[in-house]
Amino acid sequence: MLHLGRYDILRQVFGFSRDDVERALRSEQVLPRFRVLMAHISEDMAKDDVSSVKFLLGHMLPRKKMETAKDFLDLVVELEHVGKVSPTRVDLLEECLMDVGRVDLAKKLKVYKMSVSAPAVPEEVVRHPCQESPVSRYTFASDPRGECVIVDCVGNDREMMAHTFKSLHFNVTLHKWLNLVETVSTLRKVFQRSPDHSGDGFVCCIISRAIDNRLQATDMNCEGLRLEDVRRFFNGDACPALVGKPKLFFIQSYTVSDFQPCAVENRWDDGWETDGGAGQLRPDCLPSDADVLWSHCSTAEHQLQRGRHRSVYLKALTDALGRSRHLVDLHVEVNGAILEHNTRHREDQYHIDLKRPLLIVV
């Protein structure tokens, strides 16, 4: 949206300003170079140029696809669908641009082609979050699709979540009203019984009260479990069966405004074996963000005191999961629902934190 100049969509749908996105771009590569190049070439193509390219491609694409293609970018997408073009195969596009007299654009493709044909970058560099696009493609095709563990510590929305993931052919395990020790124990033991039957991926849903970035479960007087520690239970060391597979976390937290810790703050630590001691994890033990989608939504805890409360985030999420299999598109829909709610309910704001979106095909 930034490259296309749609700052209105950035703000209204994604909740980001132009400056926010430009700052993010300075710290990491967000869009694949191929997509950016195709968008820029499409912008530079006149209607006559596009018509000429359509004529050249008449024998490769169905007539209906040619008629509905509005610009060069649409043609590129259709050529990808039939296997004629990919981020590493652009010879056909280069030839077409030369044939229609757009030598200037063909040269851009030639420069790009030379760069992608350079020696491969070592995998440890490719997988670094600052070097790799945050959009990764995975496929859920196993039966069951994978394990889904749902931990509900507030008594809301668990059945809705369980029904949704069962309908998506996940093996769902539902846990209700767990304290912190039980929550930690449950997360650590997910794959101990059947470590080789993880399917194509893993889903973790947690609904809990929280203070700052710590989940409290049903223990209202303790500091809680750090959100970043939750992912650690499913990193490569803890779950070898999940290495290279997508791990999806959907967290709804209800922020407690008045927190009064008890005298024995971390009484639940005795039930949690740690590598770092004292219930705190060493920074070098934390998992990388590879293969992880982190979707966390927070809102005020006082809403739980109302009868028949339902999380706007979880409702939008389950509705979208019933219609879309691409998590990037899905979260656009979820963000839209949250934005609409926040506009109408100033006192009950929801705030979503989405990290490293994955492209899932079910």
Does the structure show a pLDDT above 90 at 12?
no
Q: Let me know if 259 is exposed, middle or buried by CB neighbors in 10 A (0-12, 13-18, 19+).
A: middle
Closest CA to 353 of 168, 161, 139, 210: 210
Task: Tell me the per-residue pLDDT of 39-57, one tens digit each, with 9 for 90 and over.
Answer: 889 999 998 889 889 888 8
Beta bridge partners of 359: 137
pLDDT of res. 285: 40
Instruction: Write down the pLDDT at residue 86.
Output: 87
Per-residue pLDDT tens digits for 229-246: 898 888 777 777 788 888
Please give the domain boundaries of the chain with CATH numbers for all domains. 31-118 (1.10.533.10), 136-257+285-361 (3.40.50.1460)
pLDDT in tens, 323-340: 755 677 788 888 888 989
Which among 139, 207, 212, 168 is positioned nearest to 359, based on CA atoms?
139
Share of the chain above pLDDT 70, in %: 78
